[in-house]
Structure 1
Amino acid sequence: MLRWVALVLIVLLIALQMKLWHGNGGVREVETLRAAVKKQGEDNDKLQQRNQALGADVDDLKHGEQAVEARARAELGLIKPGETFYQVVEKPGANQVPAPAASTGAH
C-alpha cells in the first residue's frame, strides 16, 4: 500500500513539473513575456525621448521667431528684403579625393 502511495505521489510530482515547465503559463512563457515587456519598455523610452524632442521643436515654433525663420530659410528658401542669395554649385566629381602620384625615379 505504501509503495502505491509513493508511486502516485511521484507520478503527480512529475505531472506538476511538466505543467510548470511546459504548460500554459509555465516558466518558458513567463520568461518570453518578461523579455517582451523589457523590449517594449525600451521602445517606449526611445519614443518618449523622441516625443520630448518634437515637443521642444513645437514649443520653439510656437514661441520663438528665430526657429520659424530658420526653418523657413532651410525648407522654403526664405530671403529677406535686401539680402542677396548665393548658391554654390560644385563641379561633378569635385568630392573625389585625388589619387596619390606614382613615384618614379631611382634612389
Structure 2
Amino acid sequence: MKKLFVVLSILLLMSQYRLWVGEGSFAHIAELKRNITKQTAENQRLRAQNQRLALEVEGLRNGYDSVEEKAREELGLIKPGETFYLFIEPESK
C-alpha cells in the first residue's frame, strides 16, 4: 500500500510539473499573453505609420504642391526670383 502511495504521489508530481513549470504552464501562458499585448501595440503603431506614409506617397503622386513642399523642406528648393533668408538665433550663454 505504501509503495502504491509513493508511485501515485510521484505520478501526481510529474503531471503537475508541466502545469506549473514547463511549456504550457501558467507562467508560460502569462508571458505569451504579455508578448501578444506588446506585439499588438507595435502592430498598431506600424499600421498608423504605414497610413501616414501611404498618404504622403499619394500626395506626392497626385500633386505638384506636395512635391514642391518636400523639395523646399528637405532639399532647400528656391525658385527663380525668390530670395532666401536665413535667420540664425544668437547662442544662449
Classify the TM-score, shorter chain: 0.7 to 0.9
Number of aligned pairs? Answer: 92
Partners of 1:78 and 1:91 in 2: CA distance: 25
Partners of 1:10 and 1:91 in 2: CA distance: 80
Give the alignment's Cα RMSD to 1 decimal: 2.1
Partners of 1:91 and 1:19 in 2: CA distance: 67
Residue ranges of structure 2 left out of the alignment (5+ in a row): none
AA matched with 2:71: A
Task: Report how far residue 46 of structure 1 moved.
Answer: 0.7
Residue ranges of structure 1 left out of the alignment (5+ in a row): 97-107
Alignment correspondent of 1:78 = 77
Q: TM-score, normalised by structure 2?
A: 0.78
Task: Report how far residue 19 of structure 1 moved.
Answer: 2.3
Partners of 1:12 and 1:91 in 2: CA distance: 79
Q: Deviations over 1:73-92 (max 9, x none)?
A: 11222122222222222333
Higher helix share: 2
Partners of 1:92 and 1:11 in 2: CA distance: 76
Q: Which has the higher contact order (CA 8 A, sep 6+)?
A: 2
What percent identity do the matched residue pairs reach? Answer: 41
Alignment of 1:34 with 2:37, yes or no, is no
